[in-house]
A and B are shown apart, each in its own frame.
Chain A
Amino acid sequence: MLTTDTSTGKGPRQRQPWLWLLIAVWLATAVSGLRIVWAYDNTPGVLARAPQRWPAASALTRTMGEPALVVFAHPQCPCTRASLGELGEVLARARRPLKTFVVFLKPASFEAGWEKTGLWAAAAQLPGAVAVRDDGGAEAHAFGVETSGQVLLYDAAGKLRFNGGITGSRGHAGDNPGRAALVALIGETPAARDGASVFGCPLFAAGS
Chain B
Amino acid sequence: MMTSRRATELFEQYQQDIYKRTDRLFAGLMAFQWIAGIIFALWVSPLAWDGSVSRTHIHVWAAVFVGGAICLFPALLGLFRAGRPSTRYTIAIAQMLMGALLIHLTGGRIETHFHVFGSLAFLAFYRDWRVLVPATVVVALDHMLRGFFWPQSVYGVLVPSNWRWVEHAAWVIFEDVFLVMSCQRAIVEMRERADRTATLEHEVRTRQQAENVASLTAAVGLALTRGTELRAMLQHCADALMAHIQGGAARIWTYTDAGKVLELQATAGVGIDSAPHARDIPLGLGVIGAAAEARKPLVTHHPNRDLPAEQAQWMQQQGLVAFAAYPLLLDSKLVGAIAIYSTYEFSSSALDAMAAVADGMALGVNRKRAERELERYTRDIESAHDTQRRNAEQLATVVDQLRVMQREAEAATRAKSDFLASMSHELRTPLNAIILYSELLQEVAADNGQPASVPDLRRIQSAANHLLELINGILDLSKIEAGKMTLSLETFEVRSMVEAMLDTVKPLLQKNGNTLTVNYGEGLGTMRADLMKTRQILLNLLSNAGKFTHGGTIRLDVDGTTATGRSWVTFTVTDTGVGMTADERQKIFDPFTQADVTTTRKYGGTGLGLAIVARFCALMGGEVAVESRPGEGSRFTVLLPRQVAEPVPDAMAAGV
Measured CB to CB, the residues of A under 8 A from B are 1-8, 10, 16, 19-20, 22-23, 26-27, 29-31, 33-34, 36-38, 40-42, 74, 76-79, 81-82, 105, 107, 109-110, 137, 148, 168-169, 171-177, 201-206, 208
Contacts and interface: CB of A to CB of B under 8 A. Distances in A.
Interface in B276-331: 321-322
Nearest to B213: A2
Most interface-central of B2, B48, B65, B110 (chain A CB within 10 A): B48
A86 to B, nearest CB: 11
A173 B108 contact: yes
B350 A2 contact: yes
Contact of A82 (B53, B107, B157, B344): B107
Contacts of A34: 66, 97, 100-101, 104
Contacts of B321: 7
Contacts of B97: 30-31, 34
A86 B110 CA distance: 15
Contact of B244 (A2, A5, A7, A175): A2
Nearest to B105: A37
Interface of B: 2, 5-6, 9, 12-13, 44-54, 57-59, 62, 65-66, 69-70, 73, 86, 90, 93-94, 97, 100-101, 104, 107-110, 146, 149-150, 152-153, 156-158, 205, 208-209, 212-213, 216, 244-246, 248, 321-322, 342-347, 350, 353-354
19 contacts: A2-B347, A3-B342, A3-B343, A3-B344, A5-B5, A5-B344, A16-B86, A20-B86, A31-B97, A34-B66, A34-B101, A37-B58, A42-B152, A78-B47, A81-B107, A82-B107, A174-B152, A174-B156, A206-B50
B455 to A, nearest CB: 124
Contacts of A40: 58
Contacts of B246: 1, 3
A29 B69 contact: yes
Contacts of A74: 49, 51
A176 B150 CA distance: 12
B344 A169 contact: no
Contacts of B54: 76
Contacts of A105: 51
A78 B59 CA distance: 10
Contact of B52 (A30, A82, A107): A107
Contacts of A203: 51
A10 B45 CA distance: 50
A109 B93 CA distance: 47
A77 B347 contact: no
Contacts of B49: 74, 76-77, 148, 201-202
A34 B150 CA distance: 12
A115 to B, nearest CB: 12
A135 B428 CA distance: 198
Contacts of A202: 49-51
A12 B58 CA distance: 46
A153 to B, nearest CB: 20
B6 A6 contact: yes
Given A4-B205, A37-B104, A175 B157 contact: yes
Contacts of B343: 3
Contact of B153 (A3, A30, A148, A172): A172
Contact of A41 (B70, B104, B109, B322): B104
Contact of A177 (B51, B57, B158, B354): B158
B209 A2 contact: yes
Nearest to A25: B73
B150 to A, nearest CB: 5
Contacts of B5: 5
Given A19-B86, A23-B90, A3 B51 contact: no
Given A23-B90, A37-B101, 19 more contacts: A1-B245, A1-B246, A2-B347, A3-B342, A4-B205, A6-B344, A16-B86, A30-B70, A34-B100, A36-B66, A37-B59, A38-B146, A77-B49, A78-B45, A168-B157, A169-B152, A172-B153, A175-B156, A205-B50
B65 A33 contact: yes
A204 B107 contact: no
A30 B69 contact: yes
A41 B212 CA distance: 73
A37 B41 CA distance: 13
B344 A7 contact: yes
Contact of A33 (B69, B153, B342): B69
Contacts of B245: 1-3
A42 to B, nearest CB: 5
A77 B47 CA distance: 8
Contacts of B353: 2
Nearest to B107: A171
Contact of A38 (B69, B104, B158): B104
Contacts of A206: 50
A206 B90 CA distance: 43
A205 B153 contact: no
B12 to A, nearest CB: 7
A117 to B, nearest CB: 11
Contact of B47 (A26, A76, A172): A76
Given A82-B107, A174-B156, A26 B344 contact: no
Nearest to B159: A177
A176 B157 contact: yes
A174 B108 contact: yes
A206 B52 CA distance: 11
A22 B81 CA distance: 14
A195 B136 CA distance: 37
B149 to A, nearest CB: 8
A116 to B, nearest CB: 16
B361 to A, nearest CB: 16
Nearest to B46: A78
A76 B345 CA distance: 72
A8 B9 contact: yes
Contacts of A76: 47, 49, 54
A169 B13 CA distance: 49
A169 B48 CA distance: 15
Contacts of A175: 156-157
A36 B153 contact: no
B123 to A, nearest CB: 17
Contact of A3 (B46, B48, B350): B350
A153 B219 CA distance: 102
Contacts of A36: 58, 62, 66
A156 B555 CA distance: 196
Contacts of A5: 2, 5-6, 344-345, 347
Contacts of A172: 107-108, 152-153, 156
Contact of A168 (B6, B50, B156): B156
A73 B344 CA distance: 76
A37 B62 contact: yes
A1 B157 contact: no
- In order of increasing CB-CB distance, the 4 nearest A-B pairs are A3-B344, A33-B66, A168-B152, A78-B45
Contacts of B149: 38
Nearest to A114: B52
Contact of A2 (B53, B104, B346): B346
A206 B50 CA distance: 7
Given A1-B212, A172-B108, A174-B108, A208 B70 contact: no
A2 B212 contact: yes
A37 B62 CA distance: 7
Contacts of A33: 62, 65-66, 69-70
